[in-house]
Structure 1
Amino acid sequence: MSPTQSWAYGLNEIRFQAGAEGFSREALSELLENVPLAIAVTLGPQQRFVFANRLFRSAMSATEENLIGRTVQEVMGKSYTPDIGVLRQKVFETGEPQGLEGYPIVLTSGTTTYWDVKLLPVRDGDDRISGILTLAANVTERVKARSEAEIKAREVALHNERLALAVEATEMGLWEWNAQTGETFWSDRQKDIFGLSKGEPATYEFWHSAIHPEDRERVVSSVEALSDPRSGGQLHIEHRIVRPDGELRWILSHGRMLYEIVNGELKPARLLGTIIDATERRRNEEIRQLLVQELNHRVKNLFAMTSGMIALTARMAETPKQMAEALRGRIEALARAHELIRPAITGTEPTDGETSVEEIAQAILAPHINRDAPSSMTLEGPAVRIGPKAATILTLVLHELATNASKYGALSAPEGRLNIAWRQGATLTLLWREENGPILQGPPATEGFGSKLARRSVTDQLGGAIAYEWEPEGLKVRIEVPLSHLND
């Protein structure tokens, strides 16, 4: 039976093609009544029902008596939407079959069912369209399953978004390595840490070459050990990498090897993990260690300077009272000088406001001045104002030079002399010159911590330079600072 040439005016007048003679109305009715499709026929421009099988009537919650002769809109009620009306009118006018997927029908019980609907034209003996044949399949379970799948997909997507947000907040890189195929996955953040562009593939070879040569054997051995299930499959390692641009970074890597049973044995399957860029933390640790060393260095220097001031004051004072007063003044001056360098050794912000090179030099040398005798120190130079950061660094450097001079140089001997001179041209040039102190035998075998700190402070923070000349008659130091850094 052709679906486009079935009924003319109703069930009693269905015309069958050749070979269908003898098929009774009762047999046809019984067949259509029990097929697992909802079937209905409407005729005329008003689209009135002339036939509907049991499944169609059930879907409409209607009896045969309440359905035959009524229009589609009357029978469907609220389930009749403009969409279905447009499609039915299009079938009636053009003769082209139309369809809907997952069309909702609300039962009188309030339950919603879903149907795939096919609308086919019904033609009369003159091949004119006189009605519409409706075929509908109940797809409620499919729609519900799809809806549940979509809900789960949205939940998974939301979970992934939350996970991505959490990973982004922690700035972790994600990676995965297939131990059987060698395939490697790196997240964008992982590639960024390693200096790999997003479009470039991540490979085992790139990872291997990126590991710092001094750490490579240790890291590779740790990863290879995970192939043995007895290792526990856990990876926790911190090491250095070298990016393609030559930058060195520290990373902290955590991973877990997943195993699967192959031929009755546990075999490595996939290695999953994360990395965190630990470069800043390592730098902060180095700075803290440097500060601890600096603190120890300063404490030792303070004891040495205090001991030297006591000895100097004892030689010059005539009475205990005079010695106490002189010593108190020097210790107070030492405290003021130490306060000037506090920001440099604690990492705090320097005090706001400018000062001058002369004011700094006077504050630093005050603890070493014997006010009861002619000064053995001279200061020469123009008025040069400098900003708080530059002042802090210059104070630190001069304090280090004065400390060493009081321990080993010109300020440790009664006849010793010290001259500090500065001039301002293309750069600020400061000259430190010691004389008449202990005879120097050349530069020390190793550079002390204080000298290293002074050099790093001038070069790294002020963009300048510092040079030492260890002449027999005394130490000479030349410091140059670009004018662009003086107001920092």
Structure 2
Amino acid sequence: MSPSQPWAYGLDEIRLQGGAEGFSREALSELLENVPLAIAVTLGANQQFAFANRLFRSVLGSPDEDLIGQTVQEVMGERYTPELRSAREKVFQTGEPQELKDHALVLTPGTTTYWDIKLLPVRDGSDQISGILALGAHVTERVKARGEAEIKAREVALHNERLALAVEATEMGLWEWNTQTGETFWSDRQKDIFGLPRNEPATYEFWYSALHPEDREHVVSGVGSLSNPRSGGQLQIEHRILRPDGEVRWILSRGRMLYEIVDGELKPARVLGTIIDITERRRNEEVRQLLVQELNHRVKNLFAMTSGMIALTARTAETPKQMATALRGRIEALARAHELIRPAITGSEPTDGETTVDGILQAILAPHISQDASSSMTLEGPPVRIGPKAATILTLVLHELATNASKYGALSVPEGRLRISWVRGVTLTLLWQEENGPAIQGEPSAEGFGSKLALRSVKDQLGGAIAYDWRPEGLRVRIDLPMNQLEA
């Protein structure tokens, strides 16, 4: 039996045969002297040594000393721990075996050793407790190894906790898929992104069904290609998912296939990966693309409006000087109107301060008003103040209507007329009515970019509505805006 192995726990007492005079020291020495357990027998309530083998004596620093007749207290002195004392007294008083696991003993100064100790009652022929058999197994190496393992486990747990915190800070979801068993693991963040309750298991079927139908074939094909070791085993793909609540999200998914050698060939084992929700990034990219389109649209409109202004001014001016003066004024007014809509186009902050509906209309329509003829425009409505953000959006919409009117509608011909009116209630209702312009053949077959932008601005940013009525005598547009949104 090695020191690290336990003794037979079925042994719970030692009995001396009737008539026995005591232990034979010679027999005990021959049998137990070199056993790799610390063994000692004490007799009597004062616990005097009747036998102690070599290992027992050695650990006490007295390998060659005869301990017989001495008490445990005399031999151990300060090394006699309260726990060991209490256990020995309990054995002698109750006759019940006692055991101490990983018991720390400082047997030599500055050195702590650990022992598994079992104390068994010794009974004489009259069934009376006459002494105690003590068995000690030296387990210091085992305790140290376990301590080191616990330290390593704590370090691993701390490392994993730090890793989990780092992953949580990056908002990444973690996933793993065993290609051989089909077993799937998803982190809580992964489930949150996909809309899967945290207490529900992740499955391949759920993942497959969550892929957006338009992206599904591409994604499944990409993941499937990882099974071929020649693929490099890595994947990075942006795609859409469809959550159970119907919301569409964009994610960036990265994966790495781990292979193992089977019969001399690399075979796919499992895929480890991460995902990041990039919905906001994709939306921002769409906004930037929209702004680029809007800038291109505005540049084209500026050229078209400038050309129209030249033609309009040429029809009413009597001299080149008069035409130059009038045209300069119109272009300067156009520049001021364009400056008003710049924040909406570039995404920059709007100018601080409030303005009014009338003030916006005056600025937008100034480039189209002839200073030398009666005005072809009528503005009617009460004073309505508007905050900077709402003013920027409304200016963009009205600028689009004025641009189209100057290119195709009532402002493109001298006889054209434009009447704008507005009323205030829970909502601001504004009517844009064109007359005497080129005849309208009906609603356009395709919605232009400017019209799409106007609808998106009114509906999505101000929570309002815009409706077009393509009447033969002239376009009529109705815009309804909640007053609580106009104060922003």
TM-score, scaled relative to structure 2:
0.89
The residue aligned with 2:230 is 230
> Contact 1:100/1:118 (CA < 8 Å) preserved in 2?
yes
In the alignment, structure 1 residue 4 sits paired with structure 2 residue 34: no
> Contact 1:354/1:385 (CA < 8 Å) preserved in 2?
yes
Question: Secondary structure at the residue paired with 2:293?
Answer: helix
Letter paired with 1:458: V
Distance 1:2 1:231, change over 3 A: closer
The residue aligned with 2:6 is none
Q: Give RMSD over aligned pairs.
A: 2.8
> Contact 1:97/1:120 (CA < 8 Å) preserved in 2?
yes
Instruction: Provide Cα deviations, 1:453-487, integer angstroms capped at 9, x if missing partner.
Output: 00111111222211112223221111112233232
In the TM superposition, residue 62 of structure 1 has moved relative to its aligned partner by 3.5
Instruction: Provide Cα deviations, 1:414-455, integer angstroms capped at 9, x if missing partner.
Output: 222211100123421100011222222222221111110001
Q: Spell out the pairing of 1:246-261 with structure 2 (5 A cutoff).
A: 246-261=246-261
Letter paired with 2:459: T
Distance 1:23 1:381, change over 3 A: closer
Letter paired with 1:113: T
Count, aligned residues: 479
CA–CA distance in structure 2, aligned partners of residues 79 and 287 of structure 1: 79
The residue aligned with 1:377 is 377
The residue aligned with 2:143 is 143
Question: Secondary structure at the residue paired with 1:442?
Answer: coil
The residue aligned with 1:11 is none
> Contact 2:55/2:63 (CA < 8 Å) preserved in 1?
no
Q: Spell out the pairing of 1:76-95 with structure 2 (5 A cutoff).
A: 76=76, 79-95=79-95
Instruction: Provide Cα deviations, 1:63-96, integer angstroms capped at 9, x if missing partner.
Output: 5649666654565456544333333333333232
CA–CA distance in structure 2, aligned partners of residues 290 and 470 of structure 1: 26
> Contact 2:57/2:65 (CA < 8 Å) preserved in 1?
no
Instruction: Provide Cα deviations, 1:166-197, integer angstroms capped at 9, x if missing partner.
Output: 22122222222222222222222222222111
> Contact 1:440/1:474 (CA < 8 Å) preserved in 2?
yes
CA–CA distance in structure 1, aligned partners of residues 466 and 298 of structure 2: 21
Letter paired with 2:165: L
Distance 1:71 1:130, change over 3 A: same
CA–CA distance in structure 2, aligned partners of residues 23 and 60 of structure 1: 23
> Contact 1:259/1:270 (CA < 8 Å) preserved in 2?
yes
> Contact 2:17/2:125 (CA < 8 Å) preserved in 1?
no
The residue aligned with 1:454 is 454
The residue aligned with 1:104 is 104
In the TM superposition, residue 36 of structure 1 has moved relative to its aligned partner by 0.9
Distance 1:379 1:38, change over 3 A: same
Distance 1:22 1:163, change over 3 A: closer
> Contact 1:52/1:64 (CA < 8 Å) preserved in 2?
no
Q: Spell out the pairing of 1:4-153 with structure 2 (5 A cutoff).
A: 4-5=13-14, 15-16=16-17, 24-43=24-43, 47=47, 49-63=49-63, 65=65, 72=72, 75-76=75-76, 79-108=79-108, 110-123=110-123, 127-129=127-129, 131-153=131-153
Instruction: Provide Cα deviations, 1:331-388, integer angstroms capped at 9, x if missing partner.
Output: 3332332232222222234344432211211121122222333222111011222333
> Contact 1:59/1:105 (CA < 8 Å) preserved in 2?
no
Question: Secondary structure at the residue paired with 2:289?
Answer: helix
In the TM superposition, residue 101 of structure 1 has moved relative to its aligned partner by 1.1
Distance 1:424 1:38, change over 3 A: same
The residue aligned with 1:417 is 417
> Contact 1:390/1:487 (CA < 8 Å) preserved in 2?
yes
Question: Secondary structure at the residue paired with 1:214?
Answer: coil
Distance 1:42 1:22, change over 3 A: closer
When structure 1 is superposed on structure 2, of 306-315 and 436-445 the one drifting more is 306-315
> Contact 1:376/1:417 (CA < 8 Å) preserved in 2?
yes
CA–CA distance in structure 2, aligned partners of residues 79 and 413 of structure 1: 114
Distance 1:21 1:121, change over 3 A: closer
The residue aligned with 1:274 is 274
Distance 1:101 1:407, change over 3 A: same
Distance 1:176 1:117, change over 3 A: same
The residue aligned with 2:362 is 362
Question: Secondary structure at the residue paired with 2:361?
Answer: helix
Distance 1:363 1:86, change over 3 A: farther
Distance 1:71 1:396, change over 3 A: farther
When structure 1 is superposed on structure 2, of 108-117 and 307-316 the one drifting more is 307-316
> Contact 2:18/2:126 (CA < 8 Å) preserved in 1?
no
Distance 1:477 1:53, change over 3 A: same
Distance 1:17 1:362, change over 3 A: farther
CA–CA distance in structure 2, aligned partners of residues 451 and 307 of structure 1: 22
In the alignment, structure 1 residue 245 sits paired with structure 2 residue 245: yes
Question: Secondary structure at the residue paired with 1:329?
Answer: helix
Distance 1:386 1:35, change over 3 A: same
In the alignment, structure 1 residue 306 sits paired with structure 2 residue 297: no
Question: Secondary structure at the residue paired with 2:444?
Answer: coil
In the TM superposition, residue 16 of structure 1 has moved relative to its aligned partner by 4.8
Identity of aligned residues (%): 79
TM-score, scaled relative to structure 1:
0.89
In the TM superposition, residue 30 of structure 1 has moved relative to its aligned partner by 3.2
CA–CA distance in structure 2, aligned partners of residues 178 and 466 of structure 1: 54
Question: Secondary structure at the residue paired with 1:342?
Answer: helix
CA–CA distance in structure 1, aligned partners of residues 416 and 35 of structure 2: 119
The residue aligned with 1:217 is 217
CA–CA distance in structure 2, aligned partners of residues 406 and 73 of structure 1: 114
CA–CA distance in structure 2, aligned partners of residues 273 and 53 of structure 1: 62
> Contact 2:14/2:120 (CA < 8 Å) preserved in 1?
no
Distance 1:42 1:202, change over 3 A: same
Question: Secondary structure at the residue paired with 1:447?
Answer: coil
Question: Secondary structure at the residue paired with 2:365?
Answer: helix
> Contact 2:405/2:411 (CA < 8 Å) preserved in 1?
yes
Letter paired with 2:179: A
In the TM superposition, residue 21 of structure 1 has moved relative to its aligned partner by 9.8
The residue aligned with 2:5 is none
Distance 1:374 1:153, change over 3 A: same
In the TM superposition, residue 291 of structure 1 has moved relative to its aligned partner by 1.0
